[in-house]
Structure 1
Amino acid sequence: MKKLGFLPRAVAVALVVLGLSSCAPPSSADAEKHKKESLKFLVENEKKPGVLSTASGLQYMILDEGTGISPKATDTVTVKYRGSLISGQEFDSGENVSFPLNGVIRGWTEGLQLMKEGAKYRFFIPPKLAYGKSGVGRVIPPNSALIFDVELVKVNSTD
């Protein structure tokens, strides 16, 4: 079973049980199509007012600044989130979900460290910082850029 980096294990197991995640390899034509769509979206998105970018290619918008502490990659965080494809199709959401920050997709690990408790950001995550050319079964196609609205509720610091 493919580990879903942004979902708790119980949700990932449920996706497999419901048949929404499969082990079938993605077609190379689909992978190439999504790669081109993702690149086009990210190039255009970066030009929009309020969109910031990191050296890795992560794009984000600050919807609401927080006032608390910022997490380190080794911290456990609690978040509220909504994830969608660039088409707008929502594939997941959660409220008060806790996880170790270094146990999720790279785009989340990097992006959440930019935030402070109470902040709300929108992440535009390139495929290389998400699930890359493998995707996640029928839930997230190969080479898909992802959009997440995330609120950092709490940082459970390891210090």
Structure 2
Amino acid sequence: MRLRRLLCLPAALLLQGAPPDIAVPPAEAVRTPSGLAYRVIRPGQGGRRPTTGDFARVHFTGWGPDGAVFTNTRVQDEAPFVSLERLMPGMRESLLAMTVGEQRRVWIPEALAFAGAKGRPAGTVAMDLELLDVVPDPHQAPADVAAPPPDAAVLRSGLAFSVLKPGTGKVHPTRSSWVIVHYTGWTTDGRMFDSSLPKGNAVPLHLKGTIAGWIEGLQLMVEGERRRFWVPEKLAYQGASGMPRGMLVFDVELVGIGQ
């Protein structure tokens, strides 16, 4: 998993100018009953906070008490999705209290950080967290997975979709484009059969090499957009051996468009 590799990168590869207050929380920092301290760098946009089972897209940088960086997602173009259940307790506590768009600097005591784990920073660590997006645990199927809801758009081909999050881009991919996507697929009985979210990072795909429903549907999208597609079997795997059968449901986010 790429996130795990980032957490293990040598500090020498990730060094950057450490903020002056990383060793000791400033007087104005808020303390929580667990011993965590934080200050809000930028407020969020409101809305619901993550829950423990969610996946969150987060940019984060972490410093040990000596100012050495032990992790930094900003060395990659894309912020990863992380499972809140798998994070260190202090990082999880912090994200559960944030809303999308919020950025915090948190000071995490050793007991809520690496708890003396070999090869990890000892003592209190400081982290800058930026919460960019939240999606539910992909193992929990959407309530409308069995059939498109009445307000879903239905194309002549039989492909149906709902827009879950508007995009920010202006350009649509073409059939010959490379696309970078996050996705989860379910059968109509609610079984998840594939998802990019547990892998952390989005997946590059040649659009014309995907199923017909994706070729048609993704050409309607722009970067940053997330849609739910109900894909009839004739536009999916057409009953191929070893592949999911029947209508399939996909949540797809178009992260980027290549050449």
TM-score by length of 2: 0.41
Equivalent of residue 250 in structure 2, options 136, 148, 153: 148
In the other structure, the counterpart of 2:173 is: 71
SS at match of 1:110: helix
Equivalent of residue 116 in structure 1, options 216, 222, 234: 222
User: Is it true that 1:91 corresponds to 2:193 in the alignment?
Assistant: yes
Work out whether residues 45 and 51 of structure 1, in 8 Å CA contact, stay in contact via their aligned partners in 2: no
In the other structure, the counterpart of 2:213 is: 107
Unaligned runs of 5+ in 2: 1-143
TM-score by length of 1: 0.65
Work out whether residues 164 and 226 of structure 2, in 8 Å CA contact, stay in contact via their aligned partners in 1: yes
- Following superposition, the deviation at residue 67 of structure 1 comes to 1.9
- Determine which structure has greater relative contact order: mean sequence separation of CA pairs < 8 Å that are 6+ residues apart, divided by chain length: 1
Work out whether residues 181 and 256 of structure 2, in 8 Å CA contact, stay in contact via their aligned partners in 1: yes
Q: Deviations over 1:44-80 (max 9, x none)?
A: 835x243001111100001111121210111000000
SS at match of 1:99: strand
| Identity value in percent | 41
Code of the aligned partner of 2:187? L
In the other structure, the counterpart of 2:156 is: 55
Work out whether residues 147 and 188 of structure 2, in 8 Å CA contact, stay in contact via their aligned partners in 1: no
SS at match of 2:202: strand
SS at match of 1:79: strand
- Following superposition, the deviation at residue 84 of structure 1 comes to 0.6
Cα RMSD after superposing both structures: 2.0
How many residues are paired up?
Answer: 111
In the other structure, the counterpart of 2:231 is: 125
Work out whether residues 230 and 249 of structure 2, in 8 Å CA contact, stay in contact via their aligned partners in 1: yes
